[in-house]
A and B are shown apart, each in its own frame.
Chain A
Amino acid sequence: MTNEQLNSGNPKVDIEYRRKKSAEEMRYQIISFAMMIFLTLVAFVAVGYDGFSGWFTIPFILVLAGVQVVFQLYYFMHMSHKGHEAPALFLYSGVFVAFITLLAFMTIIWW
């Protein structure tokens, strides 16, 4: 899944290789999109179906959202590629502060 520049010295070989790489990447992205649509449908059906209690549905749809966001970040936003160490640091720092913020607001107001 790397998308680095190649320097084999032979442009034809390079282009062939790149074409294969980007076709492969596109395949991963299509699979990601199919998974995202599927997870969205499951979440909507779980909420629309009356047989589940909120104690099951809410954690379940939150997990589905988390998985879907991983697809978006790693395949659509290319975080699975090399050279994304700093972006990952920035994003996860943001997620860490986000988690503390949510925890603080919800414990202050609810208890």
Chain B
Amino acid sequence: MKADEKFTYETWPAAPEKQTLEGKNKFLGFWLFLGGETVLFATLFATYLALKDSVPNSEMALAKDLFEIPLVFIMTMLLLTSSLTSVYAMYHMKNFNFKKMQLWLGVTVLLGAAFLGFEVYEFNHYVHEFEHTFTSSAFGTAFYTLVGFHGGHVAFGLLWFITLMVRNRKRGLDLYTAPKFYVASLYWHFIDVVWVFIFTVVYLMGMVG
């Protein structure tokens, strides 16, 4: 099977992302990358846990003063739902329905962008209301590095989806484009995996004390 072969719903393979050697390699290489990402985030989590609430004087805000349930809850629901919408997109990819895949990727991008908007508001709030900045304390540095790195991943994921959607809008689905969409959606799910630990370890554990 050639990568640019034209398909119909009937001839589209069940696992189009792994039909070509390139697709198989992409799949394997991307999971290796995710293993590396796991280690990267582990180092940031470890640093955060070690330096949590390490502030130079008692007037500075601690985790329990900063975090509030409603904002974190909204952000969690947005990202969790965007994970489901990218599952829908891959469902339509496997059914060779390019338009519906694009539609659900679009919804995913909107939800991800809303998440980022809330994160920008949140950081801005901490900086201006609490003077909790990147350089104000070891706690601040560890917090913004961990959560900011995740936010950076969200921003990169959004750009990745948008680029794929725009670039392939006329080409549609074939064995060359299918692995690209599949791998981008894996990345998006991984971002949600990291967020599950961030909302638990940083925010919820921070509010407990």
Q: Do the beta carbons of A26 and B38 come within 8 Å of each other?
A: no
Partner pick for B186 among A4, A69, A77, CB 8 A cutoff = A77
Q: Which residues of A contact B41 (CB under 8 A)?
A: 98
- The answer to whether A9 has its CB under 8 Å from any CB of chain B is no
For residue A20, give the distance in angstroms from its CB to the closest CB of chain B.
12
CA A50 to CA B158, docked complex, whole Å: 38
Interface size class of A (residues with CB under 8 A): 35 or more
Cross-chain pair count, CB within 8 angstroms: 133
Stretch at the interface among B102-110, B111-119, B196-204: B196-204
Interface residues of B in 16-60 (CB under 8 A from A): 18, 27-28, 31-32, 34-39, 41-43, 45-47, 49-51
Q: In the complex, A90 Cα to B31 Cα: how many Å?
A: 7
Question: What separation, in Å, do the CA atoms of A102 and B38 have in the docked complex?
Answer: 12
With a cutoff of 8 Å between Cβ atoms, the chain A residues found around residue B28 in the complex are: 86-87
- The answer on a CB contact under 8 Å between B200 and A91 is no
Taken together as a complex, chains A and B put the C-alpha atoms of A91 and B194 apart, in Å, by 13
For residue B83, CB closer than 8 A to chain A, the reply is yes
Chain A residues closer than 8 Å to B94, beta-carbon distance: 3, 22
**Within 8 Å of chain A (Cβ to Cβ): is B120?**
no
**Is the C-beta of B13 less than 8 angstroms from some C-beta in chain A?**
yes
Q: Which of A3, A43, A98 has the most CB of B within 10 A?
A: A98
Q: How far is the CA of A98 from the CA of B9 in the complex (A)?
A: 42
- For chain A, residues 60 to 81, give those with C-beta under 8 angstroms from any C-beta of chain B: 61-62, 64-65, 68-69, 72-73, 76-77
Within 8 A of B (CB), among A1-57: 3-6, 11, 15, 18, 21-22, 25-26, 29, 33, 36-37, 40, 43-44, 47-48, 54, 57
- Chain A interface main SS type: helix
CB distance from B104 to the nearest CB of A (A): 12
| Nearest Cβ on chain B to A35's Cβ, whole angstroms | 11
Decide yes or no: A90 and B35 within 8 Å by CB, A36-B80, A61-B200 being known contacts: yes
In the complex, chain A residues 76-111 whose Cβ is within 8 Å of any chain B Cβ:
76-77, 83, 86-87, 90-91, 93-95, 97-99, 101-102, 104-106, 108-110
Given contact pairs A25-B91, A47-B208, a sample of 9 additional A-B residue pairs in the complex whose CB atoms are under 8 Å apart: A3-B14, A5-B14, A44-B69, A61-B205, A76-B83, A87-B27, A94-B38, A95-B38, A98-B38
Could you show 15 A-B contacts with beta carbons less than 8 Å apart?
A18-B14, A33-B80, A44-B69, A54-B208, A54-B209, A58-B205, A64-B200, A77-B186, A83-B18, A86-B28, A90-B32, A91-B38, A97-B38, A101-B46, A105-B47
Give the B-binding residues of A (Cβ under 8 A). 3-6, 11, 15, 18, 21-22, 25-26, 29, 33, 36-37, 40, 43-44, 47-48, 54, 57-58, 61-62, 64-65, 68-69, 72-73, 76-77, 83, 86-87, 90-91, 93-95, 97-99, 101-102, 104-106, 108-110
Q: Which residues of B contact A (CB under 8 A)?
A: 9-11, 13-15, 18, 27-28, 31-32, 34-39, 41-43, 45-47, 49-51, 69, 73, 76-77, 80, 83-84, 87, 91, 94-95, 186, 189-190, 192-193, 196-197, 199-201, 204-205, 207-209
